[in-house]
Amino acid sequence: MDLAFLGETFVTLLGGVPLLLQLTFFSVSIGAVFAVALALMRLSGNPLLDYPARGYVFVFRGTPLLVQIFLIYYGLGQFPEIRQSIAWPFLRQPYWCAILALTLNTAAYATEIIRGGILSVPFGQIEAARACGMSRTMIFRRIILPQGLRTALPAYGNEIILMTRATALASVITLMEVTGIASKLVSETFRAIEVFACAGAIYLFINFLISRAIAWAERRLSPQAAPQSAAAPEPAR
Protein backbone atom coordinates (compact mmCIF):
# COMPACT_ATOMS: atom_id res chain seq x y z
CA MET A 1 0.00 0.00 0.00
CA ASP A 2 1.43 3.31 -1.10
CA LEU A 3 -0.31 5.83 1.12
CA ALA A 4 1.33 8.88 -0.46
CA PHE A 5 0.08 7.81 -3.89
CA LEU A 6 -3.42 7.14 -2.56
CA GLY A 7 -3.57 10.57 -0.90
CA GLU A 8 -2.35 12.32 -4.03
CA THR A 9 -4.86 10.41 -6.18
CA PHE A 10 -7.64 11.27 -3.79
CA VAL A 11 -6.89 15.00 -3.98
CA THR A 12 -6.66 14.91 -7.79
CA LEU A 13 -9.97 13.05 -8.04
CA LEU A 14 -11.70 15.52 -5.73
CA GLY A 15 -11.13 18.09 -8.50
CA GLY A 16 -13.87 16.31 -10.45
CA VAL A 17 -16.46 16.56 -7.69
CA PRO A 18 -17.79 20.06 -8.56
CA LEU A 19 -18.53 18.95 -12.13
CA LEU A 20 -20.17 15.76 -10.86
CA LEU A 21 -22.39 17.75 -8.51
CA GLN A 22 -23.27 20.27 -11.24
CA LEU A 23 -24.31 17.52 -13.63
CA THR A 24 -26.42 15.86 -10.96
CA PHE A 25 -27.97 19.10 -9.72
CA PHE A 26 -28.95 20.50 -13.13
CA SER A 27 -30.25 17.24 -14.53
CA VAL A 28 -32.23 16.31 -11.43
CA SER A 29 -33.81 19.75 -10.98
CA ILE A 30 -34.71 20.35 -14.63
CA GLY A 31 -35.74 16.70 -14.93
CA ALA A 32 -38.11 17.09 -11.98
CA VAL A 33 -39.97 19.92 -13.74
CA PHE A 34 -40.31 17.79 -16.90
CA ALA A 35 -41.39 14.84 -14.77
CA VAL A 36 -44.21 16.72 -13.06
CA ALA A 37 -45.48 17.87 -16.46
CA LEU A 38 -45.22 14.34 -17.88
CA ALA A 39 -46.94 12.83 -14.83
CA LEU A 40 -49.81 15.29 -15.27
CA MET A 41 -50.05 14.35 -18.94
CA ARG A 42 -50.20 10.67 -17.91
CA LEU A 43 -52.97 11.41 -15.40
CA SER A 44 -54.92 13.88 -17.54
CA GLY A 45 -57.25 11.20 -18.89
CA ASN A 46 -56.85 12.78 -22.33
CA PRO A 47 -55.36 10.21 -24.75
CA LEU A 48 -53.73 13.00 -26.78
CA LEU A 49 -51.64 13.88 -23.72
CA ASP A 50 -51.43 10.45 -22.12
CA TYR A 51 -50.02 8.48 -25.05
CA PRO A 52 -47.14 10.83 -25.96
CA ALA A 53 -46.08 10.80 -22.30
CA ARG A 54 -46.31 7.00 -22.21
CA GLY A 55 -44.23 6.78 -25.38
CA TYR A 56 -41.60 9.10 -23.92
CA VAL A 57 -41.28 7.04 -20.75
CA PHE A 58 -41.18 3.80 -22.71
CA VAL A 59 -38.40 4.96 -25.03
CA PHE A 60 -36.19 6.57 -22.40
CA ARG A 61 -36.54 3.74 -19.90
CA GLY A 62 -36.10 1.04 -22.52
CA THR A 63 -32.76 2.21 -23.94
CA PRO A 64 -29.37 2.55 -22.25
CA LEU A 65 -28.38 6.03 -21.11
CA LEU A 66 -25.07 5.75 -22.98
CA VAL A 67 -26.98 5.31 -26.27
CA GLN A 68 -28.99 8.45 -25.45
CA ILE A 69 -25.79 10.38 -24.72
CA PHE A 70 -24.19 9.28 -28.01
CA LEU A 71 -27.38 10.02 -29.92
CA ILE A 72 -27.39 13.60 -28.65
CA TYR A 73 -23.65 14.29 -28.68
CA TYR A 74 -22.62 12.56 -31.91
CA GLY A 75 -25.96 11.89 -33.60
CA LEU A 76 -27.52 15.36 -33.78
CA GLY A 77 -24.49 16.80 -35.56
CA GLN A 78 -25.28 14.64 -38.59
CA PHE A 79 -27.95 17.09 -39.71
CA PRO A 80 -26.90 20.42 -41.28
CA GLU A 81 -30.20 21.95 -40.09
CA ILE A 82 -29.09 21.41 -36.49
CA ARG A 83 -25.52 22.50 -37.14
CA GLN A 84 -26.85 25.83 -38.47
CA SER A 85 -29.47 26.34 -35.78
CA ILE A 86 -29.13 28.59 -32.74
CA ALA A 87 -28.95 25.52 -30.48
CA TRP A 88 -25.68 24.36 -32.04
CA PRO A 89 -23.33 26.38 -29.79
CA PHE A 90 -24.86 24.36 -26.92
CA LEU A 91 -25.25 21.00 -28.62
CA ARG A 92 -21.62 21.14 -29.76
CA GLN A 93 -20.38 21.07 -26.17
CA PRO A 94 -20.17 17.80 -24.27
CA TYR A 95 -21.23 19.58 -21.06
CA TRP A 96 -24.66 20.63 -22.36
CA CYS A 97 -25.15 17.36 -24.20
CA ALA A 98 -24.49 15.43 -21.00
CA ILE A 99 -26.93 17.62 -19.06
CA LEU A 100 -29.56 17.26 -21.78
CA ALA A 101 -29.22 13.46 -21.93
CA LEU A 102 -29.21 13.04 -18.15
CA THR A 103 -32.21 15.37 -17.81
CA LEU A 104 -34.30 13.59 -20.43
CA ASN A 105 -33.35 10.22 -18.91
CA THR A 106 -34.15 11.07 -15.29
CA ALA A 107 -37.40 12.77 -16.34
CA ALA A 108 -38.68 9.42 -17.67
CA TYR A 109 -37.95 7.54 -14.45
CA ALA A 110 -39.18 10.38 -12.23
CA THR A 111 -42.46 10.60 -14.15
CA GLU A 112 -43.48 7.18 -12.89
CA ILE A 113 -42.31 8.01 -9.35
CA ILE A 114 -44.31 11.24 -9.22
CA ARG A 115 -47.32 9.60 -10.85
CA GLY A 116 -47.29 6.95 -8.12
CA GLY A 117 -47.04 9.66 -5.47
CA ILE A 118 -49.96 11.62 -6.89
CA LEU A 119 -52.09 8.48 -7.18
CA SER A 120 -51.45 7.73 -3.50
CA VAL A 121 -53.29 10.85 -2.30
CA PRO A 122 -56.52 9.53 -0.72
CA PHE A 123 -59.60 10.38 -2.74
CA GLY A 124 -61.43 11.55 0.39
CA GLN A 125 -59.09 14.54 0.60
CA ILE A 126 -59.83 15.57 -2.96
CA GLU A 127 -63.54 15.12 -2.28
CA ALA A 128 -63.27 17.29 0.83
CA ALA A 129 -61.38 19.97 -1.10
CA ARG A 130 -64.10 19.96 -3.75
CA ALA A 131 -66.73 20.23 -1.03
CA CYS A 132 -64.95 23.33 0.28
CA GLY A 133 -65.30 24.80 -3.21
CA MET A 134 -61.62 24.72 -4.25
CA SER A 135 -60.92 24.95 -7.97
CA ARG A 136 -59.04 22.21 -9.82
CA THR A 137 -55.75 24.09 -9.87
CA MET A 138 -56.03 25.03 -6.20
CA ILE A 139 -56.75 21.41 -5.26
CA PHE A 140 -53.70 20.39 -7.22
CA ARG A 141 -51.49 23.06 -5.68
CA ARG A 142 -52.64 22.78 -2.08
CA ILE A 143 -53.79 19.18 -1.65
CA ILE A 144 -52.43 16.83 -4.30
CA LEU A 145 -48.94 18.07 -5.10
CA PRO A 146 -47.59 18.55 -1.54
CA GLN A 147 -48.79 15.16 -0.37
CA GLY A 148 -47.90 13.39 -3.60
CA LEU A 149 -44.35 14.73 -3.57
CA ARG A 150 -43.91 13.76 0.06
CA THR A 151 -44.97 10.19 -0.69
CA ALA A 152 -42.70 10.11 -3.72
CA LEU A 153 -39.68 11.37 -1.80
CA PRO A 154 -38.03 8.04 -0.78
CA ALA A 155 -38.22 6.70 -4.34
CA TYR A 156 -37.05 10.06 -5.65
CA GLY A 157 -34.05 9.89 -3.33
CA ASN A 158 -33.10 6.59 -4.95
CA GLU A 159 -33.38 8.22 -8.35
CA ILE A 160 -31.05 11.06 -7.30
CA ILE A 161 -28.47 8.49 -6.17
CA LEU A 162 -28.84 6.65 -9.47
CA MET A 163 -28.24 9.95 -11.28
CA THR A 164 -25.08 10.59 -9.28
CA ARG A 165 -23.85 7.20 -10.47
CA ALA A 166 -25.00 7.94 -14.01
CA THR A 167 -22.94 11.15 -14.28
CA ALA A 168 -19.91 8.84 -14.64
CA LEU A 169 -21.06 8.21 -18.22
CA ALA A 170 -20.33 11.84 -19.05
CA SER A 171 -16.65 10.86 -18.93
CA VAL A 172 -17.21 8.85 -22.12
CA ILE A 173 -17.87 12.11 -24.00
CA THR A 174 -14.66 13.66 -22.63
CA LEU A 175 -16.01 15.41 -19.54
CA MET A 176 -13.46 15.41 -16.73
CA GLU A 177 -15.57 14.52 -13.74
CA VAL A 178 -14.37 11.98 -11.16
CA THR A 179 -14.45 8.93 -13.46
CA GLY A 180 -12.91 10.92 -16.33
CA ILE A 181 -10.02 12.07 -14.15
CA ALA A 182 -9.64 8.54 -12.80
CA SER A 183 -9.28 6.97 -16.25
CA LYS A 184 -6.79 9.66 -17.24
CA LEU A 185 -4.77 8.95 -14.09
CA VAL A 186 -4.84 5.23 -14.85
CA SER A 187 -3.50 5.77 -18.35
CA GLU A 188 -0.65 7.82 -16.85
CA THR A 189 0.21 5.65 -13.83
CA PHE A 190 -1.06 2.17 -14.83
CA ARG A 191 -2.32 1.68 -11.28
CA ALA A 192 -5.92 0.89 -12.09
CA ILE A 193 -6.97 -0.78 -8.86
CA GLU A 194 -5.86 1.99 -6.48
CA VAL A 195 -7.20 4.84 -8.63
CA PHE A 196 -10.59 3.31 -9.39
CA ALA A 197 -11.03 2.23 -5.76
CA CYS A 198 -10.36 5.83 -4.67
CA ALA A 199 -12.94 7.09 -7.18
CA GLY A 200 -15.44 4.52 -5.92
CA ALA A 201 -14.93 5.74 -2.36
CA ILE A 202 -15.74 9.30 -3.44
CA TYR A 203 -18.99 8.21 -5.09
CA LEU A 204 -19.93 6.16 -2.04
CA PHE A 205 -19.35 9.10 0.25
CA ILE A 206 -21.39 11.50 -1.90
CA ASN A 207 -24.24 9.00 -2.11
CA PHE A 208 -24.10 8.50 1.63
CA LEU A 209 -24.50 12.26 2.12
CA ILE A 210 -27.39 12.40 -0.35
CA SER A 211 -29.23 9.55 1.33
CA ARG A 212 -28.78 11.26 4.72
CA ALA A 213 -30.14 14.51 3.29
CA ILE A 214 -33.17 12.73 1.82
CA ALA A 215 -33.85 10.96 5.12
CA TRP A 216 -33.67 14.32 6.89
CA ALA A 217 -36.08 15.91 4.39
CA GLU A 218 -38.45 12.96 4.82
CA ARG A 219 -38.52 13.46 8.58
CA ARG A 220 -39.02 17.21 8.20
CA LEU A 221 -41.89 16.78 5.76
CA SER A 222 -43.75 14.12 7.74
CA PRO A 223 -43.81 15.29 11.35
CA GLN A 224 -46.92 13.19 11.93
CA ALA A 225 -44.93 10.02 11.27
CA ALA A 226 -42.25 10.85 13.86
CA PRO A 227 -42.31 8.90 17.11
CA GLN A 228 -44.35 10.76 19.70
CA SER A 229 -42.05 12.44 22.18
CA ALA A 230 -44.76 12.28 24.83
CA ALA A 231 -45.03 8.49 24.53
CA ALA A 232 -44.66 6.48 27.70
CA PRO A 233 -41.04 5.48 28.35
CA GLU A 234 -40.25 1.85 27.71
CA PRO A 235 -40.55 -0.24 30.83
CA ALA A 236 -37.23 -1.34 32.28
CA ARG A 237 -36.37 -4.94 31.56
Q: Which residues bind other proteins (CB under 8 A)?
A: 58-59, 62-68, 70-71, 74-79, 161, 165-169, 171-172, 179, 182-183, 186, 190-193, 196-197, 199-200, 203-204, 207-208
Q: Shortest gap between Cβ of 36 and other proteins (angstroms)?
A: 24
3-state secondary structure the chain: CCHHHHHHHHHHHHCCHHHHHHHHHHHHHHHHHHHHHHHHHHHCCCHHHHHHHHHHHHHHHHCCHHHHHHHHHHHHHHCHHHHCCCCHHHHCCHHHHHHHHHHHHHHHHHHHHHHHHHHCCCHHHHHHHHHCCCCHHHHHHHHHHHHHHHHHHHHHHHHHHHHHHHHHHHHHHCCCCHHHHHHHHHHHHCCHHHHHHHHHHHHHHHHHHHHHHHHHHHHHHCHHHCCCCCCCCCCCC
Q: Shortest gap between Cβ of 220 and other proteins (angstroms)?
A: 24
Q: Shortest gap between Cβ of 212 and other proteins (angstroms)?
A: 13
Please, which residue, 188 or 234, has the CB nearer to other proteins? 188
Please, which residue, 32 or 170, has the CB nearer to other proteins? 170
**118 closest CA partner among 75, 147, 82, 81:** 147
Q: Shortest gap between Cβ of 17 and other proteins (angstroms)?
A: 14
Please, which residue, 14 or 66, has the CB nearer to other proteins? 66
Q: Shortest gap between Cβ of 23 and other proteins (angstroms)?
A: 12
Q: Shortest gap between Cβ of 106 and other proteins (angstroms)?
A: 14
**145 closest CA partner among 154, 132, 136:** 136
**For residue 35, which amino acid is it?**
A
Please, which residue, 136 or 165, has the CB nearer to other proteins? 165
Please, which residue, 71 or 87, has the CB nearer to other proteins? 71
Please, which residue, 81 or 234, has the CB nearer to other proteins? 81
